[in-house]
Structure 1
Amino acid sequence: MSWFIVVPKLRVAAMAIYPFILVQKVSYKNEAVLVNHEKIHHRQQLELLVVPFYLLYLLHYLYNLLKYRKHQTAYLNIVFEKEAYAQQQNFTYLSTRSVFSWIKYLRA
């Protein structure tokens, strides 16, 4: 279950911080692809016991930033984002997803 919190000053459309999904606009709660993307992050967070997820996310971002030298490229190459973007339009993904599926995106 996810709870939505509207944060108008959020610098992105949405953000998953388990068990919440922060959204910039109320209408974003009805954006199926956006919500599915964030729910994929919730699953990733749960399987890594939440706090380690954020540490790995940050470390992977920093590694990518050194590698690519651009924020957007670094962000899009975070393994957790790769999985979420690749599967965000697959609305049955979470019902069939294997534990730690994000690992296969390390090679992608």
Structure 2
Amino acid sequence: MPIVVNKYLIGRHFVGIALWPFIVVNNSFLKEDEVFINHEKIHLRQQAELLVLPFYIFYFTEYLIRLLQYRNSQQAYRNISFEREAYRNEDDLQYLKKRKPWSFIKYW
């Protein structure tokens, strides 16, 4: 999984994003942050399970639903099922080795 540094692609609200098959970061020091990279690798796995495009459709749709639910963009983002799985397991660097397919469903 290639890690690309592009300070212009990433917005001011986040520092990295998983865009199949890349992880794009806005600063090269993030390439060394194992927890951050693990978080993004979890998203890459989710994207692969959903054949990429449906992942983005589900992600955006769930964000909109959560935004209506919480009326707060940060809270909506943190409660997207894909993000909940990634944040809950980002510290476990072995998570992807033991993760079962479609595990994000448990976080809906």
Task: Provide the TM-score with structure 2 as the length reference.
Answer: 0.95
- Given the alignment, which residue of 39, 63, 87 partners 2:89? 87
CA distances 1:9-43 after superposition (whole Å, capped 9, x unpaired): 31211100011000010110000000000000000
Q: Aligned to 1:86, what secondary structure does the other structure show? A: helix
The sequence identity of aligned pairs, in percent, is 46
1:100 to 81, 88, 102: 102
1:51 alignment partner in structure 2: 53
Residue-pair matches, total: 105
TM-score (norm 1): 0.95
Runs of 5+ unmatched residues, structure 1 = none
Query: Structure 2: which 5+ residue stretches go unaligned?
Result: none
